[in-house]
Amino acid sequence: MTVAEDTGRAAQLVAFGLRPKLRPIEDADYLELVRRYRQQDGFAGAVRAIADGMGLDVLDVTEAAGAVLGARDDSAFAIRLEDYYRRARETQTRRRVLHGLAQLAIAACCFPRPEDLEDPEHAPRVAVTDVDEYLRDLCRRLDEQHAEESLDPPADQLELERAWRMYARQPEATATGDMRAHEGATRQIVTKAFDALIERGLMRQVSDHLGGIYQPTRAYCIHVRELSREDVWFELDRVRNPDAPAW
């Protein structure tokens, strides 16, 4: 094979990775490329180089999950929260925090312990109600821990409200008006978060019970593992920095 041919094949694997709903088991060509990536260091290097040029990181390539890619901030492939929720614009801090919390809590419910991320047989089933109740339970615990403090925000700076207190007061569901699900209701927000994951091939729905029961795919596990790795820096690290100004 010529260099051009090899490069073409390597680029093809990246292209497969950009179709997250496609799995190697469904496409013989894809499966062959995945195997080649895992067996030939030279080929793997070429794939990573091509991805890198496009602003992508190859997080992992497995037969079950395929090529799992992560976009860097400057990449043309980077996702913006606004792409998913038109109404969660930059100015709507409260809504953006709610959508972010839903995603983070789903990850925490799917992988309650770090070991779960490394267990190939860990395939939990998580319901919308589990996620919402989990967050509400955390809120209750934080309330208990901070019972002695004055936590209400200044009346003219409501964005200084603590995140958990805001979540705890969001309605869980509403039945008033025309019985449509309320946009700000937390169950609805968690459902939307699962929908976004399904659209990206990271979750599949296994049942309609309890507001919907979902199961993560291997690709989701790889993404979350990447985000929870100690040596990967990202914005969340600021959270753990004790010098960061609280408010």
Partner 1 sequence: MVDQFDNTSPSLALTEGDGQLMLEPALGPYAAPPTEAAAAVADQALARRAKAMACTLPLHHLAASRARVRDGAFAGYTVWELAFVAIDTVTVQMDFDRGAAHEAVIDAIVPYARAQAPNAGEDEDRAVAKWVLDELIGTTSNREFSIEYSDFDAEYVRRSFGFQLLVERQAPDGSIYLRATDAAINVLVGALDTDVESAQAAAEAKLENLVRRGRLSEAQYAAQQARYRTIQLGEQLRQDLAATRRNLAGVDWTGEISPRLDGALAHIAERLEVERRIVANIRATRDEADRPELRAQAAGLLDLLEDCQNRHIVLQRKLMEARQVFLGEQQRQVFAPPASVRLRDIAEELLVPVLKLSLAAAEPPLVDFFERVLGPRPQRIGRLSAMVRALLAPSREREQLGAEVVEPELRDLSCDERFPEGVRAAAATVLEGVGSQPRRLSELLREALQSRVAPAEPAAVAHLLALLVLHSYSPELASQLRAGDETSLLMAWTDGVRLELASKSPGSAAKTEEDHLAGEFVRFFGDDLLIGRLDLAAALHLARAEDDDLVPSLRPAGGAR
* Window 209 to 228, contacts with partner 1 (CB under 8 A): 209-211, 219-220, 223-228
Residues 110 and 124 sit within 8 Å (Cβ to Cβ): yes
Residues 43 and 10 sit within 8 Å (Cβ to Cβ): yes
Nearer to partner 1, 2 or 169 (CB): 169
The residue from 25, 114, 180, 205 that contacts partner 1 (CB under 8 A) is: 114
Q: Binders of partner 1 among 62-81, rule CB under 8 A?
A: 68-71, 75-81
The residue from 12, 153, 204, 215 that contacts partner 1 (CB under 8 A) is: 153
| Minimum gap (Å) between residue 42 Cβ and partner 1 | 24
Residue 192 lies near partner 1 (rule: CB under 8 A):
no
**At 144, which helix (H) or strand (E)?**
helix 128-145
Residues 104 and 190 sit within 8 Å (Cβ to Cβ): no
Q: How far is the C-alpha of 89 from the C-alpha of 102, rounded, in Å?
A: 17
Q: How far is the C-alpha of 8 from the C-alpha of 12, rounded, in Å?
A: 6
In this structure, what token pair is assigned to residue 223?
């993404």
| Minimum gap (Å) between residue 199 Cβ and partner 1 | 9
Q: How far is the C-alpha of 114 from the C-alpha of 134, rounded, in Å?
A: 17
- Stretch in the footprint of partner 1 (CB under 8 A) among 4-12, 26-34, 35-43, 139-147: 139-147
Nearer to partner 1, 9 or 162 (CB): 162
**At 57, which helix (H) or strand (E)?**
strand 56-62
The residue from 34, 56, 189, 221 that contacts partner 1 (CB under 8 A) is: 56
Q: Which residues contact 182 (CB under 8 A, 6 or more apart)?
A: 171, 173, 174, 188
Q: Binders of partner 1 among 34-53, rule CB under 8 A?
A: none
In this structure, what token pair is assigned to residue 240?
């753990």
Nearer to partner 1, 31 or 181 (CB): 181
Nearer to partner 1, 42 or 154 (CB): 154
Residue 108 lies near partner 1 (rule: CB under 8 A):
yes
Residue 61 lies near partner 1 (rule: CB under 8 A):
no
Nearer to partner 1, 47 or 135 (CB): 135
The residue from 118, 123, 180, 205 that contacts partner 1 (CB under 8 A) is: 118
Residues 21 and 201 sit within 8 Å (Cβ to Cβ): yes
